[in-house]
A and B are shown apart, each in its own frame.
Chain A
Amino acid sequence: MNQQSVSNSSFSQSQIAETDFEKRRGISHVEVRTGLTQVHVLDLPQPIAKSRINVLQAVAEAGVSLDFLKLTPTGLSFIVVADKTQTISETLGKGGFSNQLDTNRGIVLVHAVNMRDEEGMIATILQRLINSGISIDHASDMHDRILIVTEESQAEKFKSLIEGGALNG
């Protein structure tokens, strides 16, 4: 690194060209991940917090990784990759946990920078999805994206809507 002092340095014109910085507001792009199954575990006995731990213990012992865990009034639901559907079905069956498996699920990742500071942005995305007739199984967010679980066919429909500019207006 050059340690030359500033008094005898000269900064070239190439260093002072205007540059674009922050990404534009709103949705930048959409990704779809497919091949997922949503698992609903229902009617767990009380105390429900303990029962949920028992379910998670069984799933962990079966070596299955889960995403989008959601606590429901009588149990919990989560997402697994489709090739673990059979394992999950057997594991929950063996544990005596009543369950429902919805296959053909996908995750839509809507990328939009700094969404927490754009007032109402998450609500905007959800409202417009609902208005487009797309059913949402689950949603969560990160600093630069919102993740939505839906049917695979709906995920592709949503992606097309975005690509058609329907959600940025």
Chain B
Amino acid sequence: MANNLHIMKFGGTSVATPEARMTAAMRVISAKEKGVNPVVVVSAIGRKGMPYATDTFINLLREIDPNVEPDPRELDLLIACGEILSAVIFAHTLKTLGHPAMAFRGGQAGIRTDGVFGNARIVSINPTALFRCLDQGAIPVVCGFQGTYSEDRSLPGGELTTLGRGGSDTTASALGAAMKADAVEIYTDVDGVKTADPDAVKEAPTLRQVTYDEVAEIAHLGAKVVHPRAAEIAMNYNIPLWVKNTFSDDIGTEIVSRDKFPGRRVTGVTHTGKLVYLQFNLSASEKAHRATLESSIYGTMERYGVQLFMLNVSPASTGFAVPRDQYPIVQDVLDGLVIPVGDADSRVVYVFQLGTATPEVETQVQLLKSLGEVRRINAVLTEGCSMVSLVGHEYMQQPGVFLRALQVLEEEQISVLQTSDSDFSLSVLVPEADTMRTVKLLHQRFGLAEVV
């Protein structure tokens, strides 16, 4: 085993300003002085809108011509600069405080990925360079979110790749596994994993322990904690994972396996906003044609890479929510989509209509009448929705859980547009304006203020 090796990952807000970086650097130095061998992983400096944030780099290309899509390979080279800057500045900060440090790109740290630019997955890590750095008494500072892809490993170099959402957490967790670390610590600007978003529930307590699968589900359902990919790696390699606050001495949240902590009945309430819900009414279609129509809908969503939430499939209708920023794509490809079914003698021409018919759809319907019977497939649109989810373990299988959730929302006159559930969660789709109230009500109804 390595000697008390800790991976310390600092997110965007922890490295955004010189003061924040100094605080983060002091955490690293303090750990080292207590006998820990720290390996630092950093995100890009700052968040959206700040000079060196990922979005700022992307805008450098978009402002040339917003209609020309950047090449994914070039985009990866560009956005990886954010973490490179961050790592170099962090290493230099440590050096100025009297502690030798070396910055590493993902590839230099030995992180190899597959060749999917913008959403690469880590296939292997050879941390030799990081161990050598530690052996020389220096602190390695690794760029999160990136790796190297090479089709032929015998060749030098390789293509720079980025890991997609949650990339820096994933880097930290994977390095923890590769280096057999004693702990992976994810530093952020909150005290740990909370039972709810503090913007909705000010008094939401910090959970002291959660299981890997609980935290993965919480993240999947909208909470900005550890990314599921990072939790999965830590779980597979049984690495203790911590979420801590850079700016406070709170002990944080420890994420462990189920044999160390059995989980709790209800863990928390999460929310994902800015959704548009579409419910396609298939009752106007022939039963024999429904599979073709459903296949067209989902095939189109697949081709355009649309994320689907709150799936609702039944014989007479099919529905789902999509992120609002993806809705224009859905509208472009589905509104007015024409699906002819059957042969020349019995052809039915289906036309999809999203919400109220546009003049273009009306014209299309008139023109298509010469081809056969025209039927509309209407989709009812509900814009401005949020998915609020109750995450728990086993409790979801208890009688009356749905009743308790829906009853409190009905009493408070919050309209529930749809529900969804899985082994670990129960979700309701509500109007966006009611999001925070719904979180607060469910938090209260399920006694989460007392959870620790």
Binding site for B on A (CB under 8 A): 1-7, 9-11, 15-25, 49-50, 52-53, 56-57, 59-60, 62-73, 77, 113-114, 116-120, 122-124, 126-127, 130-131, 133, 135-145, 147
Contacts and interface: CB of A to CB of B under 8 A. Distances in A.
Given A21-B177, A124-B298, A142-B217, 10 more contacts: A6-B135, A16-B127, A22-B121, A53-B407, A56-B402, A56-B406, A59-B399, A65-B397, A117-B164, A127-B301
Given A11-B131, A127-B302, A142-B220, A6 B137 contact: yes
23 contacts: A3-B4, A6-B134, A11-B134, A21-B125, A21-B174, A22-B233, A49-B406, A64-B399, A67-B397, A69-B402, A70-B312, A116-B220, A120-B301, A123-B301, A130-B298, A135-B291, A137-B313, A138-B312, A142-B217, A142-B422, A143-B219, A144-B232, A147-B422
Given A21-B124, A56-B402, A123-B306, A77 B313 contact: no
B261 interface: no
Interface stretch (B76-84, B187-195, B412-420, B431-439): B412-420
B303 interface: yes
Contacts of B419: 69-71
A162 B423 CA distance: 22
Contacts of B180: 15
A36 B94 CA distance: 60
Contacts of A127: 294-295, 298-299, 301-302
Given A18-B125, A21-B174, A9 B135 contact: yes
Contacts of B217: 142-143
B302 A140 contact: no
Given A16-B131, A19-B125, A117-B164, A1 B232 contact: no
Contacts of A68: 421
Given A2-B3, A72-B314, A65 B398 contact: yes
A80 B270 CA distance: 26
B165 interface: yes
Interface string B170-190: 100010011110100000000
A9 to B, nearest CB: 5
A72 B400 CA distance: 19
A23 B4 CA distance: 27
Contacts of A1: 4, 182
A123 B333 CA distance: 15
A158 to B, nearest CB: 14
Nearest to A146: B311
B131 A53 contact: no
B222 to A, nearest CB: 10
Contacts of B403: 53, 56-57, 59-60
A114 B301 contact: no
Contacts of A137: 313-314
A107 to B, nearest CB: 10
Interface in B257-308: 291, 294-295, 298-299, 301-308
B314 A70 contact: yes
Contacts of A116: 220, 228, 307
Interface of B: 1-4, 35, 37, 110, 112, 114, 116, 119, 121-128, 131, 134-135, 137, 164-166, 170, 174, 177-180, 182, 216-217, 219-220, 228-229, 232-233, 291, 294-295, 298-299, 301-308, 311-315, 317, 396-400, 402-403, 406-407, 410, 415-425
B416 to A, nearest CB: 7
Given A3-B35, A142-B422, A16 B126 contact: yes
Contact of A15 (B164, B179, B233): B179
A25 to B, nearest CB: 7
A104 B55 CA distance: 51
Given A1-B4, A6-B135, A65 B295 contact: no
B399 A60 contact: yes
Contact of B178 (A10, A19, A49, A65): A19
Contacts of B135: 6, 9-11
Contacts of A19: 124-125, 177-178
Nearest to A49: B410
Given A22-B174, A70-B418, A119-B305, A138 B314 contact: yes
Nearest to B312: A70
7 shortest interchain CB distances as A-B pairs: A119-B305, A143-B220, A60-B400, A123-B301, A127-B298, A3-B35, A56-B403
B264 to A, nearest CB: 18
Contacts of A57: 403, 407
Contacts of B121: 21-22, 24-25
Nearest to B313: A136
A57 B410 CA distance: 13
A108 to B, nearest CB: 13
B308 A122 contact: yes
Given A70-B312, A77-B314, A2 B232 contact: no
A26 B435 CA distance: 33
Contact of A67 (B220, B313, B418, B421): B421
A133 B291 contact: yes
Nearest to B293: A130
A68 to B, nearest CB: 6
Nearest to A2: B3
A164 to B, nearest CB: 20
Contact of A66 (B35, B307, B402): B402
